[in-house]
Amino acid sequence: MPNIIITGASDGIGAEIARQLARRHGLQALLVLAARNTAGLQSVAAECKALGARTLILPTDVTVEAQCRHLVETTVRECGSLDILVNNAGVSAHALLADVPTDKLGWYHDLMQVNLWGSVYCTHAALPYLKESHGRIVAVSSLAGLVGVPGRTAYSASKFAMTGFFEALRTELHGSGVSVTLAYPGVVDTRIRMNGMNAQGEKAGRSGLKEAGAMSVHECARLIVDGMVRRKRDVVMTAQGKFGRWLKLLAPSLVDRLAMAAVKPDYRPK
């Protein structure tokens, strides 16, 4: 009976992972839903319950280490064990570095605090319990965590950092029975870019990426759950993402041009 923590479960990909796990496991699963927006968590919990799963709502801001420890400790106290940690909570941003005002660079720290440190805090707290259960860690990085994308210096840095952290951790966990699955979505149809930050560190309200052909949230979550179940190392999404990973070794400047082509013209460097 898996006990599963999902961060960023109030919306988007995390909410859909919860719904798909509810459908898959029914009463066998205990889904611990974590994010800041309690109303969002309650509505996702209601959907999961309707699909037959048990849920526990633990409002959590992953940028606060004590709240991440509370999330993990409460889960283990209430459920007896922890089998899976899905590090999914994340924030987006789109701005050319040159456009960021000198007094506004602080939001680069804020983004790193959610995307990298939120994962570090939760994973560190969960590690002893995951070792006991021979459990699974999932980390939702991004194709921007494999390839630098223009306008994404903050976001790419945070996702490359996630990639490095979890790749190194995987080597440390060799032989422990704990698997680490890194997921690299491309453009997925959620509100993340609307809610993400602009050069001023304010809510962007629009996307700087070409959204046509975005992957559905359902398909993205399905690929992540499949990778988690099969304890895959990596889940690299989209044909372009898979191809780009290899092309970067052979013709990196061509990958730079492909990354530029993914950005809307008015978001490119002048």
Q: Applying CB under 6 A, which residues contact ligand NAP?
A: 7-14, 35-37, 40, 60-63, 88-91, 114, 118, 140, 142, 185, 187-188, 190-192, 195
| Contact predicate 11/2, CB 8 Å | no
Residue 270 Cβ vs ligand NAP, minimum distance, rounded to whole Å: 26
Of 40 and 201, CB closest to ligand NAP: 40
* Nearest distance, CB of residue 256 and ligand NAP, angstroms: 19
Q: For ligand NAP, which is the closer residue by CB, 2 or 12?
A: 12
Cβ 132 to ligand NAP, closest distance in Å? 25
- Nearer Cβ to ligand NAP (57/100): 57
78/76 Cα distance (integer angstroms): 6
Whether 155 is catalytic: yes
Contact between residue 3 and residue 79 where contact means Cβ atoms under 8 Å apart: yes
Report which of 18, 150, 130 is spatially closest to residue 76, judged by C-alpha positions.
Answer: 130
Which residue in 108, 155, 184, 267 is the catalytic one? 155
Distance of alpha carbon 32 from alpha carbon 8, whole angstroms: 11
20-29: string of b/e by CB count within 10 Å (b at 16+)? bbbeebeeeb
20 - beta bridge partners? none
**Residue positions annotated with a catalytic role:** 155
